[in-house]
Amino acid sequence: MARTLDVDRSTDERALLDRALLDRASAGDAQAFREIVERYEPAVAATVVGMLGRGDDADDVGQETFIRFFDALSDFRGEASVKTYLQKIAMNLSLNALKRQKRAAQRYVSIDDEALGVPELAMSSTDEHRAQRAQEAKELVNAALDQLPPKHRAVVVLRMIDGCSTREAAEALGVPEGTVLSRLARAMKQLQGLLAPARAGRTIALEG
């Protein structure tokens, strides 16, 4: 109970600080907007890189997210948190980028291997082999994630990589919570199916 109260208090304090910064930024305080960027740049980066991979496209979308947010400061009413609002902008821009570029390279993804059924690769007592095993497992997940439809990839990124709640993911995507849950279930089933050949000792066949 005490932990819940601490979390609620922390959330309220964050919201109050965000409101103060937004008011100052709306009044033309450039430093206040820079503070907003510093507070939420990691969350935006996680969303964009999860969708597009590291590279110029991700950098451009990240910058464009904050430009769009700055332009919309006067319209922001606080129905959603600043983080969720920014993630929604970042996700929409990322989905638009994916329409122009189907495949993204060198995606950094951190998903629970056990939950996805990532194959157990040969174990080794050396750090080098353990690092190689982890890299191979990550590449298998990356290859599978790359083949998901954008709307399914989006829920995986928000829920499993960004750590958003179902409600936050729904707000960011502009869909009901039930849709997030059903898309996530389908996405996880698709990922497990895509990873099945690797679990059987075969490589994943990439499309395109």
Q: Is residue 171 part of a domain?
A: yes
Range of the domain at 182: 119-208
Give the end of a domain, one of 89, 108, 127. Answer: 108
What would the pLDDT profile of 48-70 be if each residue is shown by its tens digit?
A: 988 888 888 899 999 999 999 99
pLDDT at 204 over 50: no
Mean pLDDT of the chain: 79
What would the pLDDT profile of 76-85 be if each residue is shown by its tens digit?
A: 887 788 999 9
CA 207 to chain centre: 23
What would the pLDDT profile of 147-193 be if each residue is shown by its tens digit?
A: 888 899 999 889 888 888 999 999 999 999 999 999 999 999 988 88
pLDDT at 18 over 60: yes
Distance between CA atoms of residues 119 and 140, nearest Å? 9
Q: Is residue 114 part of a domain?
A: no
Report yes or no: 4 and 41 within 8 Å, Cβ to Cβ: no
pLDDT classification of 199: cutoffs 50, 70, 90? low
pLDDT at 4: 47
Sign of CA dihedral 59, 60, 62, 63: positive
Report yes or no: 45 and 34 within 8 Å, Cβ to Cβ: no
139 and 67 inside one domain: no
More confident residue, 4 or 77: 77
Percent of the chain topping pLDDT 90:
36
More confident residue, 180 or 132: 180
What would the pLDDT profile of 109-128 be if each residue is shown by its tens digit?
A: 445 454 555 555 554 556 66
Give the end of a domain, one of 56, 76, 108. Answer: 108
pLDDT at 136: 72
Instruction: Please state the rounded mean pLDDT for residues 79-101.
Output: 88
Q: Is residue 113 part of a domain?
A: no
pLDDT at 183: 93
193: number of Cβ within 10 Å: 11
Distance between CA atoms of residues 142 and 136, nearest Å? 10
More confident residue, 129 or 41: 41
62 and 27 inside one domain: yes
17 and 54 inside one domain: yes
CATH number at residue 60: 1.10.1740.10
Report yes or no: 81 and 15 within 8 Å, Cβ to Cβ: yes
Q: Is residue 66 part of a domain?
A: yes
Give the end of a domain, one of 60, 82, 108. Answer: 108
pLDDT at 82: 92
Structurally, how many domains does the chain consist of?
Answer: 2
3 and 88 inside one domain: yes
Where is mean pLDDT largest: 35-44, 76-85, 151-160, 196-205?
Answer: 35-44
